[in-house]
């Protein structure tokens, strides 16, 4: 970490923020801060010490070339993949760990329930106005799960309660997902980069032995070289027929071609908030896959996101001004 960041600041700290955010969201920033609004269009060079980038990387990267003197970046997002390559190694970067916990965890639980309750199918039925299509749900259940035993009354939906859920990624969002799963009494298997105890967490290297028993697989791990295409054709084949893959993390963690093949074969189903490529182009095969729910990378979005993220940024600024250790450092300046 830059040694200068460990000393109390005895000057006004100029903090640049995107004009796409309402200025009143910064009302709780420390009094030692001078707020500098930044647009993403062309303009004169601006000297600031701390930069709060626009949440949309393309706009933020258009702003960066006119900035001078930046020593600290306070991202409003949990993911910061694009920032190190933009600002270089001599800038400290903090993320907004915790800002997305509730919204992303709720998206995860919501999409699991939507898929197990066949909401996409019943929405089709509603749009067609054909009540009798309700009986197709039983056939869909048999096709998805391979369970062709006679069932009466006909199966209209499935239950989450009691299912075996493999949660891959056990950071702050993963723990929030676990908290929200508690009322469903699932058999939860936690997976992270390394194994640990208290509670028991398996290593990613154990996936081959864990996936064959997984009825729901949740991805909520960061995009790194190690996680790139972590879920490919072999991993999808290890999952039991009818298993549900939920990707609330990053698109490249899943091999898209393998996912398309697995969905088209009827082997698994999936709910994804992220894709690779992203945005997903018109006409891409993933759009037309069966047993798939796609949302356009909105899992972390809610009216509470910006206030929550800026509250975290304000707390980091107070620490920075006081010369205290920053909490959410993802890159320490060299």
Report how far residue 134's alpha carbon sits from residue 316's, in angstroms, rounded to the nearest whole number. Answer: 53
Is there a contact between 317 and 324 (Cβ–Cβ < 8 Å)?
no
Report how far residue 297's alpha carbon sits from residue 247's, in angstroms, rounded to the nearest whole number. Answer: 10
Place of tokens 């970046």: 73
Is there a contact between 302 and 100 (Cβ–Cβ < 8 Å)?
no
Active-site choice (297, 311, 318, 319): 297
CA distances from 160 to 171, 187, 209, 215, 251 (A): 23, 10, 22, 9, 25
Residue 191, Cβ density class (10 Å: 0-12 exposed, 13-18 middle, ≥19 buried): buried
Catalytic status, residue 190: no
Catalytic status, residue 297: yes
User: Angle CA(213)–CA(217)–CA(221) in degrees, nearest 5?
Assistant: 130
Catalytic status, residue 176: no
Report how far residue 127's alpha carbon sits from residue 7's, in angstroms, rounded to the nearest whole number. Answer: 62
List, as one string, the DSSP characters of 110-166.
HHHHHHHTTHHHHHHHHHHT-GGGGGHHHHHHHHHH---S--SSPP-----TT-EEE
Helix (H) or strand (E) holding 320: helix 305-322
Active-site choice (202, 250, 269, 308): 250
Place of tokens 């910006």: 306
Nearest to 327 by CA among 87, 10, 63, 75: 75
Active-site choice (133, 278, 311, 318): 278
Helix (H) or strand (E) holding 237: helix 233-238
- Residues that are catalytic: 250, 278, 297
């Amino acid at each position: 970490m830059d040694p200068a960041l460990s000393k109390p600041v005895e000057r006004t700290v100029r903090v640049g923020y995107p004009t796409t955010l309402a200025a009143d969201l910064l009302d709780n920033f420390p009094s030692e801060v001078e707020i500098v609004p930044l647009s993403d269009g062309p303009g004169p060079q601006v000297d600031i010490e701390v930069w709060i980038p626009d949440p949309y990387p393309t706009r933020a990267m258009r702003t960066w070339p006119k900035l001078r003197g930046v020593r600290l970046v306070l991202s409003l997002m949990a993911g910061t993949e694009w920032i190190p390559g933009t600002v270089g190694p001599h800038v400290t970067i903090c993320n907004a760990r915790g800002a997305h916990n509730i919204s992303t965890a709720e998206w995860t639980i919501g999409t699991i329930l939507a898929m197990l309750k066949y909401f996409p199918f019943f929405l089709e039925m509603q749009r067609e106005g054909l009540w009798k299509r309700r009986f197709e749900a039983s056939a869909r259940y048999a096709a998805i799960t391979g369970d062709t035993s006679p069932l009466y009354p006909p199966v209209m939906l499935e239950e989450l309660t009691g299912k075996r859920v493999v949660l891959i990624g056990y950071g702050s969002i993963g723990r929030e997902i676990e908290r929200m799963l508690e009322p469903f009494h699932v058999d939860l298997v936690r997976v992270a980069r390394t194994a640990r105890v208290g509670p028991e967490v398996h290593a990613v290297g154990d996936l081959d032995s864990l996936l064959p028993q997984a009825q729901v697989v949740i991805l909520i791990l960061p995009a790194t070289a190690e996680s790139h295409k972590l879920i490919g054709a072999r991993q999808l084949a290890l999952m039991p027929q009818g298993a549900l893959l939920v990707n609330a993390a990053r698109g490249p963690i899943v091999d898209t071609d393998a996912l398309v093949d697995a969905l088209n074969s009827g082997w698994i189903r999936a709910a994804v908030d992220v894709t690779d490529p992203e945005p997903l182009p018109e006409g891409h095969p993933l759009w037309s896959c069966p047993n798939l729910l796609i949302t356009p990378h909105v899992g972390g979005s809610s009216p509470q996101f910006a206030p929550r993220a800026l509250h975290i940024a304000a707390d980091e600024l107070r620490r920075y001004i006081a010369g205290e250790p920053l909490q959410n450092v993802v890159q320490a300046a060299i």
